[in-house]
Amino acid sequence: ISAWVKPDSFFGDQFIINWGITSMNRWMGFLLRGNEINHFWFSNDLVRPIGQPTGKWTHVAMTFDGTSRQLFVNGALIGVDT
């Protein structure tokens, strides 16, 4: 999953993309919260700080190879979990 974002502010939850059934905790996606990027996958969140690139285009991406999930910002790996 990847997206280009250009936030005007960092107040509250700013969903980039999400899908699934929230009432059953079966959903996933990306959101900005404060100075962090959050990739949520069911109830397993991968959260990392990204600063506050207000007014700047920023590329965010997540990959999954069947074993581990990798979180990237502007091409730099910023988080991994298994």
The one-digit pLDDT tens for each residue of the chain (82 residues) are 899 998 887 777 888 888 887 776 677 888 888 888 888 887 788 999 987 778 889 999 999 999 999 999 999 999 999 8
Q: How far is Cα 16 from Cα 2, in angstroms, rounded to an integer?
A: 10
The strand pairing partners of 82, in sequence order, are none
Residues 79, 14, 18, 6: is their CA dihedral positive or negative? negative
How many angstroms separate the CA atoms of 53 and 45, rounded? 21
Quote the pTM value.
0.82
Query: What does the alpha-carbon distance between residue 82 and residue 11 come to, in Å, rounded to a whole number?
Result: 30
